[in-house]
Amino acid sequence: MKAAVVQLASGLDRVANRRGATEAVRTAAGAGAGLVVLPEATMCGFGNSRTDLAELAEPLDGPFVVALGAVAEETGTTVVAGTFEPVAGERRVFNTVVVVSPAGLVGHYRKVHLYDALGWCESDRVHPGEPGTANAPVVAVEDLRLGVITCYDLRFPESARAAVDAGATVLAVPAAWVAGEHKLSHWTTLIGARAIENTAYVLAAAQPRPTYTGHSRIVDPFGVVLASLGDDEGGARPEAICAELDAGRLEAARAALPVLRHRRFSVASPDRTADT
């Protein structure tokens, strides 16, 4: 299966963002991709700390997901993209990644780990998703199985391992990885680490500079970088990379490096409600 990762910048104009996302999917499908991963917050950008995301959020049957469903059906692709979803009874939103196929919405993941670090406080405007199997979609895409984590989740190896425990052989990582000192090194190192320790493909789609790092990439289960992008300063036009994902390559990696069978610790979600 050929997969594509799209690097694009989103602003606060949801109509323009929808148009850019659907055109990017068409372009990737035209290059032969059956799976297309777009960044975190593709539906609408984060704006600044005063931007009211609750005013911009859309339900899972809203215009953004409907548009993705239409382009997925048109192109025969499975599409992964970031959106903001309303939370009943409060002004915060869920930072949600949707998985849409020609059959419609087939999965969604609400970001668990919020970026309250290095001067940012995502939790001011975003409600965390709950860890656990109910918030860990794994979707069959041809002969592979797709799991999802989002941006800051990449720093928590348990998140990726939980998806792999649920059957994922491919990890999609939509991100708006904030630029800054050491951040690019962290981003590329952690993408490779998650692929190697889980013997899984990792498809990491980032928003570009100047606010974010760019450098989207596709990494195979041995940690080999199959395709990568630079920082795409300004992100005026979406960029895409494609690579073949091979179930045989994944099986070979897991046979040669049976780390999933050899491990002696398990990952368990905390038995409590997060203090939010």
Taking the CA of residue 101 as centre, how many other CA atoms within 13 Å lie in the half-sphere pointing to its CB? 10
Rounded to an integer, the average pLDDT of 43-69 is 97
Q: Is 2 a catalytic residue?
A: no
Write down the pTM of the prediction.
Answer: 0.95
pLDDT computed for residue 268 by the predictor = 81
How far, in Å, CA of 104 to CA of 11, rounded? 25
Q: Is residue 37 assigned to a domain?
A: yes
Rounded to an integer, the average pLDDT of 251-268 is 95
**DSSP assignment of 226-253:** EEE----TT--S-EEEEEE--HHHHHHH
Q: Which of these is catalytic: 44, 58, 85, 151?
A: 151
Q: Is residue 25 assigned to a domain?
A: yes
Q: Which of these is catalytic: 58, 85, 111, 122?
A: 111
3-state secondary structure of 185: helix
Q: Which of these is catalytic: 23, 40, 58, 233?
A: 40
Q: Is residue 271 assigned to a domain?
A: no
3-state secondary structure of 154: helix
Question: What are residue 192's DSSP bridge partners?
Answer: none
Domains: count for the chain: 1
pLDDT computed for residue 231 by the predictor = 81
CATH code, domain carrying 254: 3.60.110.10
- 187 is in which domain, residue-wise? 2-262
Q: Is residue 219 assigned to a domain?
A: yes
Q: Would the pLDDT of 72 be above 60?
A: yes
Q: Is 151 a catalytic residue?
A: yes
pLDDT band at residue 134 under the 50/70/90 scheme = confident
How far, in Å, CA of 72 to CA of 14, rounded? 19
CA 145, chain centre distance (Å) = 14
Helix (H) or strand (E) holding 145: strand 144-148
Predicted confidence (pLDDT) per residue in 214-237, tens digit: 999 999 999 999 999 988 755 567
Average pLDDT in the chain: 95
pLDDT computed for residue 276 by the predictor = 38
